[in-house]
Structure 1
């Protein structure tokens, strides 16, 4: 059959399909019902759609009528709210007894209707309900595949419960399935060949610690719980399908499928399939590789092909992370991929059992006619649609293809809401086939158009965007991409880089002053905190004499560097960023060994350093242009900036490259020569800046590397009369001491010293009574225990509103018990060692205090060798306790129980610090209250409170958290310079030139 003939057949079949269901509509679009009216409004009003879906998401947490009524008011009760009539009664402001009663009655009705909407997509909330629903489907002639909701597991106990939920359902089905008549024929198999029982499993839920960076550990964790499910399925002669989830799980899911398919226990059992997603750009390659693998192994397999349900999530994550968008961005491209991949699967039907999953009648018709053209037996493919969606489509499919299976989620309503929102997004998307077919009445010819023609037409209709011709420092700033551990090369690069830097152990690192290497007799060992017996290198230490040399070198370099064109200075900094980018894995590996950072956090620290260099270079180009002031004729006013002078940069060990590079580059790019004192706990990482700036072409004397002890030379550097700027990041105590020392004018000093100091934090995250705990628990664990809690931004207090306290604590503590602790060079470990024995001792003392002030909820065991401290969670803490007030700088989390959100805000503000904070809430009113009243420098809503990005989230606090402007922000460089203004009288003999922008009468 020619392609032209096949296309004609596809369109004819599709039109006949439409004719067979003419006049019908899915219940979700039926305007005669509450759901249909609300969905119709949502498709016409994007703002309402957003509010509706967010309300649907929070609804299961609203356990009281007052809470429900309040949320209805917050989501839909604004004076200008454009909402459908069916919501207006419940969304108005209630006044008086009658209004209050009416509001509660309407709230109850809204809850009932939305829960009914959710139940429409769920075959049952309990095993008993699910079994009843499945039996009814079979009675109506539909096969099923059943999927347990609740894939967001945060602890191994929850993962175990998820597995047991499947085993419980399978046990119940096993008792009854033999009594079920086979569909479509005699015997004990549906349609004469298919098992009656079909189960779909989302693998990530079976192992709560699944992560892309630990591929092997994740697969082992998942397969240990997948096997009992498959064993139970096999025992009842059933079929198992491994679902595909978000992209980050794709590689492990494919490998999991291969291992399960070749496992000696199951290798002779053919009923195993995997889901592939046509909207992923890599699926063509994945399909080819899977077919080749199955051919090589000579093993029959099953493939369910879907379009994909995570389009919005994958797109947003890619754009936020600086990655290429992994999905087709035009729906026609996904449709083309589905047809292309379907044909390839059908061409291999001797090996592959095909499960075509789609509601798109064009896609369905294409598969149906292509299978006939290729003479594929009916026993080698089937059609699948989602339970609760596209009822006319499944009815039409049953009439034409007979072999229809419904994908049937079951489970509790709270995890069901996440599934419901995904389904609603699919239904209401502008390009949704169901929306175009049944809600908007698109012409059949248009709906049956070949997606290749659709793509050409749509691309031709779009105006080509103007290309941004700007390059280099004139181009917009873009953050360095996050590391993507779904790329195998990125996972392999880390151990390779660690091995390479280990080969350099034993080197001696000199000072760098005035363009020369300077060795001193006093050396300090740089140690691996996971194994303090491992000496990574020895670093020369500067004393007061070396500081004098560095000041002299900087003073000599200052005039020429000050007068260098700002763009030229910026170009050198940009070159340094590019050098850093080429060495990103090496620089990251040093952090893994020297300070114990995990792979991702080490890489992102280097990425942040690159961002600082790129951003400040562009900022200097902007600020380096003299600015005309005023518009009066006859005078010319110009404002410009000049550098302050020599800068002392004193950096911390916890962000050893990012913060160092940021403070150093900011001063250098504005024209201030730098004397750089890195932390003695991360001096080798600091030495990397010497190599980078030398290679970038920085003039001698502009950057001077002078590690040393604070006792020997710290005060001396701060008090030196030639030092004009002190850029510091570190503890509150040291920061206050620096400010005190800098305030005193020394003999020969000709300027007031400028101190920019980032200091401590005692950061709180509030968990509101309607918070999404799937999200809150994971983000709080990361905020509190990422890099062992050794961040000034780390969460050290979590303040939980009373109504949700018990549920939150149960999930948080169980999740914390599952985190792996060990050397950071092993990516399976969530938490590593603290930076040194001194920090270890201090944190252990605070854990003892915590045990006296509150109740220890979690205290993990840790390796005996290395600078480890227990991951600790303590409850029963109140604002007056030391654990609630003092910065610990380690993995100790205080939990506080607030009576309501107002008290939570009050407690969050009750320390002398004001650095970062967070709120997990789905109450618009409470989020707005937090914006007003939660007084911190960086406030994060519904996400973790660490990891500020340059330019996107300028970082820094106030009160005792620091002095100076925010790093990575538009006014950071200004504080390192002095502004000057020059005024010229341009009038001569009564004549004044007219300049652009002047105001003349």
Structure 2
């Protein structure tokens, strides 16, 4: 390891990665089509990666295409308790060496990874997000390529900002802070729905000098494995991030029981995160330090329209916000409150726009929506649609068909609820289902209060209005209802460095991925005071006379 002495080094200015549009005839479209054909033509075997070594266990799971569940993309090996312990040991063994790297040297690895993704691996990673994750070309581009690149570049810049924050020094004294990595290892538990989040959860702590045990979601192992390969090519030393796919209990139980657990970086269901928090609380006396718990969980995200809202932009926000990526975003618009004076025009607009939506394989670029991630998700989402079909208080007015004969396809569905507490209006569904409640125009404030109180979540929300006083009222009434709040825009699509992401209440710890606040959770500060001329007597001047 080379020490970068005698230099104060500035990180390159972080700039959001430009989004390619994949228009017909464009070179990026051709490269993506080739990558899709290449990935579709082979079957990967995905091992565990512990201390840089590929490990197979013989206990395997399948990676299939959501839109064609008979097409096997890969098999992946599942960790057993033995391998989980190996991963913990590898992380602990790598910690001193990784921590000894100057921060600029660590950051260089992740900046190189960003360039590799922006260049030669862009099409391959996007193709993986499409075939294994069910995203269309645009959704894959803004996630697997652009957002992940942004996380890497901006987190490196945030690291420099953190290290530069130093206290004042008085005469004869030099004060400074060391932003040390946590003592122990960090457990990263990542979701199926965003490759960028899957990559950010292990790399953000690693940038700050931590070592990591990474458990990807069983329904998205494919692109995380590609990320591990890219990180290794970028120069990530063995043992810094240890990749251990497997069941939640098999991996999670020994990790949460280990006294060296220093932190959890989690995105997933509220129930799972609360269970982890409970277990950590029960084990609290056995840990060497208090583990940092950072979680982004569920959402029941809303669009709230005032009578002054512009209908076309409102309809577009509802369609994009609710149905892009089949509604499988924690930020997806899942409920809407529409004033009665606007409802006829909004309904007509929804019917017109949704009649033009094409659904099918993401390999056909004409399709706006695809299949949901797996059979479990399909069955759960369809059970909500069946409930709406069979129950009083709500009715399906658009869509509602489900078919898993070839792929896990669910039509974009709109439910009109006469009961504001109807099941699909208040419970998280995580699928292409939007429930709308129509309120009387003069009940604006009462309905805002209803929106605030009828869900335990507080992730994203939007207000549509051309009346600034109404916007101000909504901002006030809905202050704690969403960690990311949008004015005249859909409640999805947060951009790293522009809209730091996270919510409160049952939606998580609101540690704002894509901001310096998140990285601060992965350091433990030591304050150092150096006195140049120390006193040589205990006596103070005031003691000179009685």
Give the alignment's TM-score, normalised by structure 1. 0.50
Q: How many residues align?
A: 518
Question: Out of 881, 884, 908, which is 2:422 matched to?
Answer: 881
User: Structure 2: any 5+ residue segments left out of the alignment?
Assistant: 1-7, 537-546
Counterpart secondary structure, 1:648: strand
Q: Which residue of 2 aligns with 1:646?
A: 185
Write out aligned runs for 1:607-646 (5 A). Answer: 607-625=146-164, 627-629=166-168, 631-644=169-182, 645-646=184-185
Q: Which residue of 2 aligns with 1:737?
A: 275
Q: Which residue of 1 aligns with 2:353?
A: 815
Counterpart secondary structure, 2:289: coil
Question: Out of 515, 518, 534, which is 1:969 matched to?
Answer: 515
Matched residues in 1 for 2:116 and 2:518: separation? 24
1:858 aligned to 2:377? no
CA contact 1:877–1:894 (8 Å) conserved in 2: no
Counterpart secondary structure, 1:828: coil
Matched residues in 2 for 1:693 and 1:859: separation? 42
CA contact 1:612–1:950 (8 Å) conserved in 2: yes
Pair 859,876 (structure 1): closer, same or farther in 2 beyond 3 Å: same
Matched residues in 2 for 1:535 and 1:878: separation? 43
Q: Which residue of 1 aligns with 2:81?
A: 544
After TM superposition, give the deviation of residue 627 of structure 1 in Å. 1.2
After TM superposition, give the deviation of residue 862 of structure 1 in Å. 5.6
Q: Which residue of 2 aligns with 1:580?
A: 117
Partner deviation per Cα, 1:421-454 (whole Å, 9 max, x = no partner): xxxxxxxxxxxxxxxxxxxxxxxxxxxxxxxxxx
Question: Out of 229, 234, 239, which is 1:696 matched to?
Answer: 234
After TM superposition, give the deviation of residue 673 of structure 1 in Å. 0.5
Counterpart secondary structure, 1:803: coil
Write out aligned runs for 1:2-151 (5 A). Answer: none
Higher helix proportion (structure 1 or 2): 1
After TM superposition, give the deviation of residue 473 of structure 1 in Å. 5.4
CA contact 2:385–2:400 (8 Å) conserved in 1: no
Question: Out of 838, 841, 854, which is 2:376 matched to?
Answer: 838
Partner deviation per Cα, 1:115-137 (whole Å, 9 max, x = no partner): xxxxxxxxxxxxxxxxxxxxxxx
Partner deviation per Cα, 1:697-743 (whole Å, 9 max, x = no partner): 11111011100011322222233222211100001111111111122
Matched residues in 2 for 1:835 and 1:977: separation? 35
Larger radius of gyration: 1
Counterpart secondary structure, 2:142: helix
Higher strand proportion (structure 1 or 2): 2
Pair 724,897 (structure 1): closer, same or farther in 2 beyond 3 Å: same
After TM superposition, give the deviation of residue 924 of structure 1 in Å. 1.0
Residues 853-862 or 920-929, more deviating? 853-862
CA contact 1:766–1:799 (8 Å) conserved in 2: yes
Of structures 1 and 2, the one with the larger relative CO (CA 8 A, separation 6+) is 2
Matched residues in 1 for 2:218 and 2:300: separation? 25
Q: Which residue of 2 aligns with 1:905?
A: 448
After TM superposition, give the deviation of residue 960 of structure 1 in Å. 0.5
Matched residues in 2 for 1:473 and 1:797: separation? 45
After TM superposition, give the deviation of residue 490 of structure 1 in Å. 2.6
CA contact 1:850–1:874 (8 Å) conserved in 2: yes
CA contact 1:795–1:893 (8 Å) conserved in 2: yes
CA contact 1:858–1:872 (8 Å) conserved in 2: yes
Matched residues in 1 for 2:450 and 2:30: separation? 45
Q: Over the residues paired in the alignment, what is the CA RMSD in angstroms?
A: 1.9
Write out aligned runs for 1:300-319 (5 A). Answer: none
CA contact 1:765–1:919 (8 Å) conserved in 2: yes
Partner deviation per Cα, 1:896-949 (whole Å, 9 max, x = no partner): 112233133223212111000011111111122222222310011111111100
Question: Out of 482, 506, 509, which is 2:19 matched to?
Answer: 482
CA contact 2:395–2:416 (8 Å) conserved in 1: yes
Q: Which residue of 1 aligns with 2:466?
A: 922
Matched residues in 1 for 2:134 and 2:189: separation? 21
CA contact 2:70–2:406 (8 Å) conserved in 1: no
Runs (4 or more) in structure 1 with deviation over 4 Å come to 860-864
Partner deviation per Cα, 1:223-251 (whole Å, 9 max, x = no partner): xxxxxxxxxxxxxxxxxxxxxxxxxxxxx
Matched residues in 1 for 2:306 and 2:477: separation? 15
Q: Which residue of 1 aligns with 2:541?
A: none
CA contact 1:965–1:972 (8 Å) conserved in 2: yes
After TM superposition, give the deviation of residue 762 of structure 1 in Å. 0.2
Pair 918,964 (structure 1): closer, same or farther in 2 beyond 3 Å: closer
Pair 836,539 (structure 1): closer, same or farther in 2 beyond 3 Å: same
Q: Which residue of 2 aligns with 1:938?
A: 484
Matched residues in 2 for 1:860 and 1:845: separation? 11
Counterpart secondary structure, 2:409: coil
Matched residues in 1 for 2:58 and 2:36: separation? 29
Partner deviation per Cα, 1:848-906 (whole Å, 9 max, x = no partner): 22221301111254664211123211102433222121100001110011223313322
Q: Which residue of 2 aligns with 1:891?
A: 432
Counterpart secondary structure, 1:536: strand
After TM superposition, give the deviation of residue 988 of structure 1 in Å. 4.3
Partner deviation per Cα, 1:960-981 (whole Å, 9 max, x = no partner): 0001410001211011111111
CA contact 1:512–1:704 (8 Å) conserved in 2: yes
Matched residues in 2 for 1:989 and 1:614: separation? 46
CA contact 1:938–1:956 (8 Å) conserved in 2: yes
CA contact 1:636–1:985 (8 Å) conserved in 2: yes
User: Structure 1: any 5+ residue segments left out of the alignment?
Assistant: 1-470, 991-1001
